Structure 1
Amino acid sequence: MNISHHFDDATLMAYASGSLPQGMALLVACHLHWCPHCRQRLAEAEAIGGALLAQIEPMSLKADALKSVMDRLDLEEEIPLPQIRPVQTATDLPAPLHHYLQTNLDHLPWKRLGYGVHHIDLNLKGPGATRLLKIAPGVSVPHHTHAGNELTLILRGSYTDEFGRFSAGDVADLDGEVKHQPIVDTDQDCICLIATDAPLKFTGLMGRLVQPFIGL
């Protein structure tokens, strides 16, 4: 897999610190599964975070802090074990997403969102939305900018926008200052994992009219 587009440093630092919303954290984990370059950068970000933590002045604890912790450890609480379901290998998906979906891209219950566009809402907690989008060849997403941040990971196919060509494994890391209009540029459906922390801002009339119905 030839990956040309990666996360910016701020996104990897936020992932390393555990401050990303759930959907964005899932997307970052999926890209890391495929991208050794970003795994190395993440290791550097974690090392920086560890060094910063080491410089923080320690805080004094209450006199009974140790006893309080030990008392909690002594509490007997039955914790239900998770049910592990056997899954088939899906080579077209990164492991974190395959673990969540329990199937591959061709067996998902896609729902029609508009002309040439299908989607699946992953219904993850947190601000914004996390979805899979399947966009037909030659179809473009309405021209838009962002009220917050948008991460897009290409799972299959490719698209082209103002920032270049994005293929499987590539990630688009965009903020509110970016305006773009992706268009699928091959005869294959483009399937993307998209995570936002705020709604998109469509700049054209048609996009603004349909936005209340598509939930992006």
Structure 2
Amino acid sequence: MNIRHHFDDATLMAYAAGSLSQGMALLVACHLHWCPECCERVRQAEAIGGVLLDKIAPLPLHDSALDQLMARLDDDMAMEVSSLVKPAEIPAGVPAPLHHYINSSLEQLPWKRLGYGVHHIDLNLGGKGTTRLLKIAPGVSVPHHTHGGNELTLILSGSYTDEIGRFSVGDVADLDGEVHHQPLVDTDQDCICLIATDAPLKFTGLMGRLVQPFIGM
């Protein structure tokens, strides 16, 4: 796998600090499943965080803190072994962190039509923003848009091209409101992406603005 597009430092620092939303943290974890370079950058960020924590004066804990911690550990240990997913059971092309949520191959998912040549699955993770899988047919493009906040995209299958460059399997697009683009699927196979946002997209064309209330993006 030849990964050419990676996360910004700020995104990996936020992941290491545990401050990303559930959807964005899931997407980062999926990329790390494939990318040794970003794994090393996360380790460096965690090391920096550890040094900073060492410089913070400790605060007294509540009397029940230890009991609460032990109770949480007991709950984790109570997980049945049969519920764990063995690596051999994870379908090809599905990062292990994502398989925990979909428990299926990408091809067998119950895709829902979103528009011409576009299907999706909302992972319904709750919280701010949305996290969804998007499947776009060959030759189809997403309407030209920018972003009301941050958007992370991980390519799981196929590829697309936009104003930034070409993105293929394992690549991530780490975007904000300063980026305007129109991704176009540039091969003869579907492009399947995992996308996490913390605010709705801002479509710049008339057609995009007209359909946005119906597609929920």
Instruction: Give the match's secondary structure for 1:100.
Output: helix
SS in 2 for 1:42: helix
What count of residue pairs does the alignment treat as equivalent? 210
| CA distance, structure 2, for counterparts of residue 74 and residue 85 of structure 1 | 22
Any unmatched runs of 5+ in structure 2?
none
**What are the superposed Cα offsets for residues 32-83 of structure 1, whole Å, 9 maximum, x if unpaired?**
0000000000000001111111111233x37xx44x44666798xx959446
Superposition pairs of residues 151-166 of structure 1, within 5 angstroms: 151-166=152-167
Q: Quick check: 2:162–2:184 contact (8 Å CA) kept in 1?
A: yes
Equivalent residue of 2:107, what SS?
Answer: helix
The whole-number CA distance in structure 1 between the counterparts of 2:22 and 2:15 is 10
| Larger-Rg structure | 1
Counterpart residue number, 1:210? 211
CA distance in 2, matches of 1:18, 1:11: 11
**Matched residue type, 2:43:** A
Q: Unaligned stretches of 5+ in structure 1?
A: none
**Amino acid paired to 2:115:** G
For the residues of structure 2 that align with 1:69 and 1:118, how far apart are their CA atoms?
46
Offset of residue 176 of structure 1: 1.1
Which position in structure 2 is the counterpart of 1:128? Answer: 129
Once the two structures are superposed, what CA deviation does each residue of 1:94-133 show, in whole Å capped at 9, x if it has no partner? 1111122111011000000000000000000211100000
Cα distance, 1:206 vs structure 2 = 0.5
Distance 1:57 1:3, change over 3 A: same
Q: How does 1:15-54 map to 2 (within 5 A)?
A: 15-54=15-54
- Which amino acid is the alignment partner of residue 54 of structure 2? A
Q: CA deviation at 1:89?
A: 2.7
State the match for 1:199 in structure 2. Answer: 200
Runs of 4+ off more than 2 Å = 68-75, 78-83, 85-89
Matches of 1:20 and 1:116, distance apart in 2: 31
- Percent of aligned pairs with the same residue? 74
Question: If the length of structure 1 is used for normalisation, what is the TM-score?
Answer: 0.91
Quick one: distance in 2 between partners of 1:53 and 1:127?
A: 28
- Normalising by structure 2, what TM-score? 0.90
Provide Cα deviations, 1:138-186, integer angstroms capped at 9, x if missing partner. Answer: 1000000011000000000000000100000000000111111000001
Q: 1:70 to 1:57 in 2, by over 3 A?
A: closer
Alignment RMSD (CA, Å): 2.0
Question: Tell me, what secondary structure is at the counterpart of 1:176?
Answer: coil
**Residues 151 and 70 from structure 1, CA distance in 2 versus in 1: closer, same or farther, beyond 3 angstroms?**
closer
SS of corresponding position for 1:153: strand
Matching residue of 2:118:
117
Show the counterpart of 1:175.
176
